Chains A and B, each alone.
Chain A
């Protein structure tokens, strides 16, 4: 259907029968078709330039179903910032709502529901959303439609406001409750990567040169040049020359706060290599964790890449973390723990977090002394952080970055390399020592089993000696196994000193040994006691194949004595295994003890702080 725009007279074409509003390409009037032709609901503002990879009338595919993006609206957040809503018309007749914010996409579809489900929700509430399951309310707020283009599948006028609640759930599920009608509407779907949308084609729109993505403004306080590297997202900018915090969200620039100038470890504009791409440091903020009335400062650098969105580099006590946003519905909070991505994080600290200084760009209307409730959970090298306000709860995942790693990522920018305190998420110096010790113990035990099972323990000969010197009959020994001489002396309160020689009859090789067999016992003060043993075993190293003779020479404290000497080949010797245990397990136990002590020190630091 083609008609003239009621406002400017230009041609307005409805390409699809099931749309309600067509935004005039010339005057941005919202043209709605009715029984008496086209009417206008007023004129939208021009779409704000964004770095969106999507385009009007582009085609795509979602889970195998083809669609076309036929309309687009831009909504303003009450805290500043805009996001895009694209209207996807599927070939099977469905309409999809494709939300785009900070490089993230959410494909949603309207779902049938009972009114009770969509009752006014508060941040943190858990709701059962039809066809989507249990989800957590991560944000509530009010949005305003400020700009639009293309065809819209519902009656949308400029300046329309509506209250909403955003929810997220497991498996990347996402939902929005729209409270604009008396019966709220629910849209549920999934978060998506650009690749999942299979976007191609579409209106090219005005050419976008990478060179003009940055914009320059003059600071209203000092007239210094302010560079906006994320002009479509920036709401506030802290002037690096005079420290003034400037509002850029609407109309003429205005100073909302004056601050002292700051010298930054990482200058604004620095390029940072993370996630296989290059992000730019566009903002800096110092905040304080307020614990018992004392503020513990930490610094946050805002990084930006148009198709990736925003990331943070956080520095606390000289320790650095690279931080990514996390959908609230993917986190499960438990008592003193949080579970995310199959990892159980331990609660580390809870404190109010207050904004102290801001330089460079921020994507919301940040204010000095703005406060949120922060909770950190750690599972080194990761830290899961929650920041909650009345309207919003945000989760993020930080990963510890060493100073050297950071300097490599920042192309040589020098950063503070000496931490003044242990980072809660710093990888323990001896991480993995406990499982390694357990594995070592198992290994040592297994080694003993192997050696023991290989010991045949064959009796070779026995010699009974009651004279000062005795010789055995020749006997055969094989190579490759030890030789044990088991001595049994029938002595009581006496000793027999045994000098033994194992002589190879053919080569004359001699293995000599000395051993005392002694045993004492008695009664002392009514208590019986004993000392020593009737039995001793001497282990000799393997010998060459051949015939051998055992010579035994005895001395004793008594005039009569008797020694039985049994030669055994391939007997298990326990003492070397004890040595192995000592050699392997004692150092391991020491390392584990040190690791435990360091970990306790880390947590003690927190309890001392609190």
Chain B
């Protein structure tokens, strides 16, 4: 009992009610929601799908194929089993 007189943290008889803070789970969920939404917005603004939803395949036609007579516009090209070159 050797304290100097202290000034109470709260006014006497009128302590402040502690307000409930957000739980770690709520904070983590909020951060997750914010990140996901941010990801969605960034992708959406860039024209990309947030999660690939429509399937499409990417391929490349070599210039030699495009420049050949008939080129890729011919029926034979698309149905002859193109394998990457002439």
Q: Which residues of A contact B (CB under 8 A)?
A: 53, 103-105, 168, 172, 191-195, 210-211, 213-214, 229, 275-278, 280, 304-309, 324-327, 330, 340-343, 379-382, 397, 399, 427-433, 436-437, 439-440, 443-444, 446-447, 450-451, 454-455, 468-469, 471, 480-482, 503, 505, 507-513, 538-542, 549, 551, 553, 570, 573, 575-577, 579-580, 583-584, 587-588, 591
Contact = CB atoms under 8 A, between A and B. Distances in A.
Contact of B73 (A437, A471, A576): A471
A542 B47 contact: yes
Given A191-B11, A330-B14, A591-B25, 13 more contacts: A168-B13, A191-B12, A194-B7, A210-B2, A277-B6, A379-B17, A382-B17, A427-B23, A447-B37, A451-B44, A481-B47, A482-B49, A509-B60
Interface in B33-78: 33-34, 36-38, 40-41, 43-51, 53-63, 65-66, 72-73, 75, 78
Main secondary structure of the interface of A (DSSP, over half): mixed
A287 to B, nearest CB: 22
A468 B51 CA distance: 33
A433 B23 contact: yes
A18 B12 CA distance: 32
A508 B61 contact: yes
B49 A510 contact: no
Given A451-B45, A480-B47, A553-B78, A210 B1 contact: yes
A262 B16 CA distance: 34
Nearest to B25: A430
B12 A192 contact: yes
Nearest to B63: A508
B81 interface: no
Interface of B: 1-3, 5-23, 25-27, 29-30, 32-34, 36-38, 40-41, 43-51, 53-63, 65-66, 72-73, 75, 78
A591 B22 CA distance: 14
A439 B30 contact: yes
A511 B44 contact: no
Nearest to B22: A432
A576 B59 contact: no
Nearest to A484: B54
B48 to A, nearest CB: 6
Contacts of A309: 12
A195 B17 contact: no
A429 B28 CA distance: 13
Contact of A509 (B5, B21, B58): B58
Contact of A191 (B6, B13, B22, B34): B13
B38 to A, nearest CB: 8
A427 B20 contact: yes
Contact of A104 (B13, B16, B47, B65): B13
Given A307-B3, A576-B44, A430 B20 contact: no
B64 to A, nearest CB: 9
B6 A276 contact: yes
A336 to B, nearest CB: 18
23 contacts: A194-B7, A195-B7, A276-B9, A305-B6, A325-B13, A327-B14, A427-B21, A431-B22, A431-B26, A432-B23, A433-B25, A436-B33, A444-B40, A447-B44, A450-B45, A451-B45, A469-B75, A508-B65, A512-B57, A541-B47, A576-B50, A584-B37, A588-B33
Given A397-B15, A573-B49, A580-B36, A432 B7 contact: no
The residue among B9, B25, B27 with the most chain A CB atoms within 10 A of its own CB is B25
Contacts of A191: 11-14
B14 A213 contact: no
B11 A512 contact: no
Contacts of A512: 56-59
Nearest to B66: A508
A30 B7 CA distance: 35
B49 A381 contact: no
A447 B43 contact: no
Contacts of B54: 513, 538-540, 575
A308 B40 CA distance: 55
A440 B22 contact: no
A427 B15 CA distance: 19
Contacts of B46: 480, 542
B40 A451 contact: yes
Closest 6 CB pairs of A and B: A451-B44, A432-B22, A508-B61, A440-B33, A327-B13, A576-B50
B33 A584 contact: yes
A429 B23 contact: yes
A510 B59 contact: yes
Contact of A306 (B3, B40, B55): B3
A276 B10 CA distance: 11
Contacts of B3: 277-278, 305-307
B27 to A, nearest CB: 8
A437 B23 CA distance: 13
Given A341-B16, A436-B26, A576 B47 contact: no
B56 to A, nearest CB: 5
A252 to B, nearest CB: 25
A307 B36 contact: no
Nearest to A437: B29
Given A399-B18, A447-B40, A588-B33, A573 B53 contact: yes
Nearest to A441: B33
The residue among B12, B23, B57 with the most chain A CB atoms within 10 A of its own CB is B12
A340 B19 CA distance: 12
Given A432-B22, A469-B75, A579-B51, A510 B58 contact: yes
A195 B33 CA distance: 47
Contact of A430 (B26, B57, B72): B26
A399 B17 CA distance: 8
Given A305-B3, A510-B61, A580-B40, A482 B45 contact: no
Contacts of B56: 511-513, 538, 540-541
Given A213-B1, A280-B1, A508-B62, A193 B26 contact: no
Nearest to A395: B13
A413 to B, nearest CB: 18
